[in-house]
Amino acid sequence: MDNFLIKQETYLEAGIHIGTKIKLIDMTQFIYRMRNDGLYVLDLRKIDERIRMAGKVLAKYEPGEVLVVASRTYSGNAAAVFSDLTGIKVFSGRFIPGILTNVARDDFMEPKALLVCDPKGERQAVNEAGKMGIATIGLCDTDNSTTFIDWVVPCNNKGRRSLALIFYLLTREYLMGKGKIASYDEFTTPLSAFEAEKGEEAEAAAPEGAQAAAAPNPAEAAVVESTEPASAKEEAAEAVAEIKAEEAGEKPAKAQKKKGKDEPSE
């Protein structure tokens, strides 16, 4: 417990561990217990482990190789600050079909890694990423399917404070992994900036020259499906295996490709 990314009390105050009254079998391994009121509670230790690893995996990629999809208001606000500080592009609002598969679209994108904030509401993006072989990290609540999700981050993915804390930690871990900061003390953006509405505290917290979240182009285009095979999933699997091996003091082993599911937590 002493090795958490942030104080345990901060996690609890944000409600990051509070799930829903629905439990899908995919998320069983991440659930700690069910409360008397029927709400499922996620395992705080696994939440912390998964956020830590997600940050390290993202840091294996350059900002232009990652796309964040944040369709809800709360996730969009927090993701916008994440984008300002890391340079990673964020797609807010409704995800238009074909953005990851239709090469004829003006807004066609080819990220190597995708982070979705709600696999249920952002299922179109998840499905397209699965089809194109894009490594996908998902912020998953107890009621989420993990199909095509390569790395599950169990969490309350609906609450404002919970999402703010997740993106605060992911930003800090990404900047550490990229060598932009040498210690947590150098990360001076307050957690409150991730909770603010866009244009308020979040704008003030952004460093000069940082990239803002990109707005999508909703224009329709003729459907031309890309069939180019992608190796991003293998790269992500290798990155996870490599990080785990390094932490265990072992020699990294070549990871096998997974089909849309990460391995159960140990």
pLDDT in tens, 134-175: 999 999 999 999 999 999 999 999 999 999 999 999 999 999
pTM listed for this prediction: 0.77
CA atoms of 138 and 54, how far apart (whole Å): 9
Asked if the 8-216 domain carries CATH number 3.40.50.10490, the reply is yes
Query: Can you give the pLDDT at residue 238?
Result: 63
Task: Kindly calculate the radius of gyration of the chain based on its CA atoms and give it in whole angstroms.
Answer: 18
In which band, very low, low, confident or very high, does the pLDDT at 263 lie, cut at 50, 70 and 90? very low
Q: Give yes or no for a contact between 51 and 5, defined as CB atoms under 8 angstroms apart.
A: yes
AA letter at 220? E
Are 156 and 113 spatial neighbours (Cβ–Cβ below 8 Å)?
no
Q: How many angstroms separate the CA atoms of 83 and 69, rounded?
A: 11
**Within 10 A of 90 (CB to CB), how many other CB atoms are there?**
27
The per-residue pLDDT for range 83-128, each reduced to its tens digit, is 999 999 999 989 999 999 999 999 999 999 999 999 999 999 999 9
